[in-house]
């Protein structure tokens, strides 16, 4: 796909002061240093329910919500992903409408927005669903794909599948997210054989069964799940405003007229494979293997363009006067060439949302600690595009 206006890329080869001066000369703003500071020790632990590829940092979401909206405003996030923006918006007293087409994104977003008010209530729900799962019909592993079975002791797998089915039957997104959060890793508190945490792959070579037999033993679900529930409530805040989630493509999303802000992080174009990288969690959510449809829809250039056109039209038709549309657009690297989809997004808005003007572009370099996979080079910077509706319709 050809990008219709010149690509602007950024490589920090100078000091911070000189770099900021260079960006300012081109009409860009350098992201605050706080965005590169780890947030795991200060953010709500609901953000840590389960990992998510390309997850937006909670501190960035919090800053954008506070900067570009006010308490009581209605914020829309049509690509909610792990629910970071909707949760921070609800914490900050903003009303929320969130959507996504991924079943994993839907589960995480709903889990965070519908979590129990207290850890005691969550523990009671977990005990009830665990007991119901144990009393239910036995799981026949002959119907489970071999690639799924290879990750777990048979008794652990039967318990996990039974609990997942019970969560789906009860429509309990929070406990399902807790299960997905402990599904695979090599640590004792997780359910699988030695495996990576973010993207599932077995680590037989580093942890051979002959040297680490304890890592291949039966791992009971109940104590691990209850510990996960307690960790989720270790540090959190009450939601101050109502939030709604709908699983729907952005092209079909219907919004009330006069919403105050749209703040979202669209899928990285041609950079991340959500279906492959979440395959084990997606199987537990739906017990099927043909879940790459969302990737084809999200990640290809044509799909990205279609989605950005839909977002532009939503803002053109429904964004309040002086409302903001904030898009966190990741840079993609292909065949050694760097192109930034942000340039393409700007042109789409010029055509499809003429009442919105580009007010600010924030440039944020992504350090290694925020990459989806080790040594991953696919996404190196983000540009945060801030559009403002300055015209009455």
**pLDDT one-digit tens code per residue, 105-161:** 999 999 999 999 999 999 999 999 999 999 999 999 999 999 999 999 999 999 999
pLDDT tens-digit map of 157-174: 999 999 999 999 999 999
| CATH code for the structural domain at 16-115+238-276+290-389 | 3.40.50.150
Residue 310: pLDDT above 50? yes
3-state helix, strand, coil in the chain (%, to 5): 45, 15, 40
Q: What is the mean pLDDT of residues 85-108?
A: 97
When pLDDT is cut at 50, 70 and 90, the band that residue 59 belongs to is very high
pLDDT of residue 299: 56
Where in the sequence of the chain do the CATH 3.40.50.150 domains occur? 16-115+238-276+290-389
Which of these ranges, 86-100, 179-193, 362-376, has the smallest mean pLDDT?
362-376
Distance of CA 126 to the CA centre of its chain: 24
Residue 2: pLDDT above 70? no
Residue 308: pLDDT above 50? yes
Residue 6: pLDDT above 70? no
Q: Rounded to whole angstroms, what are the CA distances from 269 to 29, 83, 348, 363?
A: 23, 19, 15, 18
256 vs 335, more confident: 256
Mean pLDDT of the chain: 87
pLDDT of residue 390: 87
Q: Which residues contact 304 (CB under 8 A, 6 or more apart)?
A: 266, 267, 269, 270, 298, 341, 344
Quick check: 277 and 55 in contact, CB under 8 A?
Answer: no
pLDDT of residue 26: 55
- In the block, tokens 């100078």 appear at 14
257 vs 382, more confident: 257
Quick check: 276 and 295 in contact, CB under 8 A?
Answer: yes
Across the chain, the runs of DSSP E, i.e. the strands, are 29-30, 74-77, 95-100, 243-247, 259-264, 319-330, 332-334, 337-339, 356-365, 381-389
What is the token pair recorded at 258? 């006069």
| Count of other CB atoms within 10 angstroms of residue 294 | 21
When pLDDT is cut at 50, 70 and 90, the band that residue 365 belongs to is confident
39/83 Cα distance (integer angstroms) = 16
pLDDT of residue 364: 83
pLDDT of residue 332: 59
Q: What is the mean pLDDT of residues 334-346?
A: 71
Residue 190: pLDDT above 60? yes
Residue 379, CB half-sphere, CA atoms under 13 Å: how many?
27
Q: What is the mean pLDDT of residues 195-213?
A: 95
The distance in angstroms from the start CA to the end CA of the chain is: 32
What is the percent of the chain with per-residue pLDDT over 90, rounded to a whole number? 72
pLDDT tens-digit map of 223-233: 999 999 999 99
CA 249, 250, 251, 257 dihedral sign is positive
What is the token pair recorded at 302? 């044509």
pLDDT tens-digit map of 31-49: 888 888 889 999 999 999 9
- In the block, tokens 């079975």 appear at 149
97/78 Cα distance (integer angstroms) = 8
What is the token pair recorded at 310? 């839909």
Q: Which residues contact 121 (CB under 8 A, 6 or more apart)?
A: none
What is the token pair recorded at 342? 């942000």
pLDDT of residue 23: 54
When pLDDT is cut at 50, 70 and 90, the band that residue 369 belongs to is very low
What is the token pair recorded at 83? 């629910």
Pairing of strands 332-334, 337-339: antiparallel
- Using alpha carbons, select from 347, 342, 332, 356 the residue that is nearest to residue 262: 356
- In the block, tokens 């250039």 appear at 301
Residue 7: pLDDT above 50? no
pLDDT of residue 372: 39
Residue 330, phi then psi, degrees to nearest 5: -85, 145
190/363 Cα distance (integer angstroms) = 37
Pairing of strands 74-77, 95-100: parallel
């Amino acid at each position: 796909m050809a990008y219709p206006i010149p690509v602007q890329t950024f490589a920090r080869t100078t000091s911070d002061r000189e770099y900021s001066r260079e960006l300012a000369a081109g009409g860009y703003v350098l992201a605050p240093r706080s965005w590169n500071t780890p947030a795991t020790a200060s953010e709500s632990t609901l953000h840590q329910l389960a990992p998510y590829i390309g997850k937006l940092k909670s501190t960035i979401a919090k800053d954008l919500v506070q900067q570009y909206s006010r308490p009581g405003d209605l914020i829309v996030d049509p690509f909610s992903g792990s629910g970071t923006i909707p949760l921070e918006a609800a914490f900050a007293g903003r009303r929320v409408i969130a959507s996504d087409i991924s079943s994993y994104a839907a589960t995480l977003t709903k889990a965070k927005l519908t979590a129990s008010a207290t850890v005691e209530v969550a523990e009671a729900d977990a005990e009830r669903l665990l007991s119901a799962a144990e009393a239910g019909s036995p799981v026949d592993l002959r119907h489970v794909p071999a690639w799924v079975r290879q990750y777990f002791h048979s008794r652990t797998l039967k318990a996990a599948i039974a609990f997942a089915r019970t969560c789906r039957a009860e429509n309990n997104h929070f406990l399902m997210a807790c299960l997905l959060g402990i599904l695979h890793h090599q640590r004792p508190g997780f359910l699988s054989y030695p495996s990576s945490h973010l993207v599932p792959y077995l680590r037989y070579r580093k942890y051979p069964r002959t040297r680490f037999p304890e890592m291949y033993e039966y791992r009971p679900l109940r104590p691990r799940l209850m510990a996960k529930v307690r960790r989720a409530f270790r540090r959190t805040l009450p939601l101050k405003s109502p939030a709604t989630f709908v699983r729907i493509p952005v092209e079909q999303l219907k919004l009330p007229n006069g919403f105050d802000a749209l703040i979202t992080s669209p899928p990285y174009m041609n950079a991340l494979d959500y279906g492959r990288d979440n395959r084990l969690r997606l199987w537990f959510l739906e017990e099927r293997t043909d879940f790459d449809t969302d990737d084809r829809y999200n990640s290809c250039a044509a799909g990205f363009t279609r989605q950005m056109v839909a977002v532009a039209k939503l803002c053109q038709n429904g964004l309040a006067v002086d409302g903001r549309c904030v898009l966190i657009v990741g840079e993609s690297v292909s065949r050694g060439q760097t192109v930034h989809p942000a340039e393409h997004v700007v042109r789409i808005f010029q055509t499809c949302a003429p009442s919105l003007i580009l007010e600010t572009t924030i440039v944020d370099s992504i350090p290694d600690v925020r990459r989806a996979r080790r040594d991953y080079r696919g996404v190196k910077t983000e540009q945060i595009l801030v559009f403002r509706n300055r015209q009455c319709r």
